[in-house]
Amino acid sequence: MTPCAFDRKGLLQEVLGQFKVNRLGVHGPSHWARVRHHALTIGQATGADLLVVELFAFLHDSKRLNEDKDPEHGFRAASFATQLNGRYFQLDSLQLDVLHHAMTYHSDGAVDADPTIQTCWDADRLDLGRVGIKPTAKYLSPVASQHIESAYKWSRQPKVLLGELGFELSSPSRTTQDVDK
């Protein structure tokens, strides 16, 4: 896996600084790290835009208001990506459109012919094991389908943090209760 060049540490600090749900929850940094791994692995095989899929991993759940039903979180994440473009990463208008589409619709259960969009969705779906759901090939690309068993096993393991990315979670986790105060 070859990660793309952008200000990863700055981006993660920005995202974590505004993240409103528990960092140790099912939509937090451990999930992002696994989605990143899946996205880069699948993306290399499918010819996806590796910068877009890596940014998707870090941003797709960044604007959640809770761990449960939050149908607008993908749309909010897409708007957030626009605000961050030019500060931590540089996407052209086509890349930004693809990232927006992938984030806005990632929870809808669709499939897409665009390899970058589908790679984003595959990477997220391969981590459904974290909530006890085994991914099904019906909603995955053929490349991603080859990873169902290993991804499911990995997602059921203890939390993976962002240390592999050179970023440590030094501040305390925030919970929904913290946001309500």
Q: What is the CA radius of gyration of the chain?
A: 15
Q: Which two tokens stand for residue 19?
A: 């993240």
What integer pLDDT is reported at residue 43 of this predicted model? 97
Residue 38 near residue 122, CB atoms below 8 Å? yes
Cβ burial, residue 172 (10 Å; 0-12/13-18/19+): exposed
Third-level CATH fold of 8-167: Hypothetical protein af1432 (1.10.3210)
Backbone angles phi, psi at 169, to 5 degrees: -85, 90
Judged by average pLDDT, the poorest of 36-45, 62-71, 124-133, 134-143 is 62-71
Beta bridge partners of 89: 85
**For residue range 139-154, what is the model confidence (pLDDT) as tens digits?**
999 999 999 999 999 8
Residue 179 has pLDDT above 80, yes or no: no
pTM for the whole thing? 0.86
What span, in angstroms and rounded, lies between the C-alpha atoms of 6 and 120?
A: 18
What integer pLDDT is reported at residue 66 of this predicted model? 83
Torsion 105-109-123-28 (CA) sign? positive
What integer pLDDT is reported at residue 163 of this predicted model? 56
Residue 152 near residue 134, CB atoms below 8 Å? yes
Q: Which residues contact 156 (CB under 8 A, 6 or more apart)?
A: 129, 130
Share above pLDDT 70 across residues of the chain, in percent, rounded to a whole number: 85
